[in-house]
Amino acid sequence: KRSRRRFPSRNPIPRMAEKAKPNENLDAEERQDAQLQVATADAFSEGNWYHEKLEDGYTISYQIKEVFHRAKSAFQAVEVVDTVPFGRALITDRLMQSASRDEFIYHESLVQPALCAHPNPKRVYIGGGGEGATLREVLRHPGVEECVMVDIDGDVVQFCRDHMPTFCANAYNDPRTKLVIDDAKSQLEGYADGYFDVIILDLSDPLDGGPCYQLYTTSFYETCKRKLGEGGLFVTQSGCGSVSDADKCFTCVNSTLRQVFPSVFGYTTFVPSFTSEWAFNLASKEKHGADLAQLGADGVLDKRIADRGITEQMKWYDGTTHTRMFSLGKPVRTMMANETRVMTVENPLFMTDVTSGINR
């Protein structure tokens, strides 16, 4: 579904040292370093480990306790595994997508700012969202009357329903849900203009060779804007958002949205299983100034959440968290201000090449 990481690998990393007793001629500090190298090499000698190279000189590893499911859909390789640090997790094309220990951070961060900012969301469209957790978060709001979820990979949807049922939490059985296995772009185009109150895109990053890059372009964002009703809100996941990589995807998506929507707000949050600050862009069909970014101030947002009766249902999101997410660091704000790239169908920007795994 989403290819959040950049350089996948499942090969064992090189051993840092041969197993041997430290040389007795070494001083205490050198002996300690040698022992540490041996211990580090031993850590990977047992068990099943997955490794993800984030950039040159930086690789993360996590141990797999059990594989519950492994298959290949028409679009990607899919695994549901139990990891030691993050619990049960969805892996697609060898890349971490969602983990039970922290998926609520990502999914609440994606969904709740838009749903809570809208005064009365009734019709919601989700593009992607195969785990069902995005749908789960939308349906927390009692005023939602209809939620259309469109994912192109029906196998992933079914695998997650079968092996990760806590993610969707029976959301597919809710009568307000309309699940469609198809292309998110073509399905959205079939709805009347102004039909939806909120549109949420939980898609793969724009990848060369991937299926989703056209859903990050000005032409598709124009479609989204037309399909939104008065006061409608749009939100999309936007890749890594840290000071070292926000310009790989996040700032370009923000710049592209600003060509279409009158108000666009970038925000980020840290997701431990991604080992990164993760980015999102929230856009409004109406001019909002700084209102959406400041919604967490003065208790306004917390009161709206309480009025909807969902305060206790959310593990992560509230007014204070909203303020933190929309308070970007100075380097990221500078990247956004200096960003000039705009993604079009004729001139797309690819975060990575899915066939080579080389960061562009």
Active site positions, annotated: 202
CA-based nearest residue to 277, from 247, 233, 313: 247
Instruction: Provide the sign of the torsion angle of the four alpha carbons 86, 90, 92, 94, taken in this order.
Output: positive
How many other CB atoms are there within 10 angstroms of residue 289's CB atom?
Answer: 10
Checking phi first, is residue 121 left (phi over 0); if not, alpha (psi -120 to 50) or beta? beta
Q: For strand 87-92 and strand 77-83, is the pairing parallel, antiparallel, or unpaired?
A: antiparallel
How many other CB atoms are there within 10 angstroms of residue 103's CB atom?
Answer: 24
CA-based nearest residue to 234, from 355, 113, 325, 320: 113
**CA–CA dist 69, 58 (Å, integer):** 29
Distances (CA, A) of 309 to 76, 136, 140: 39, 15, 9
Contact 277, 269 (CB under 8 A): yes
Residue located via tokens 């069902």: 132
Q: Which residues, 6+ apart, have CB-to-CB distance to 188 below 8 Å?
A: 125, 127, 150, 199, 223, 224, 227
How many other CB atoms are there within 10 angstroms of residue 355's CB atom?
Answer: 10
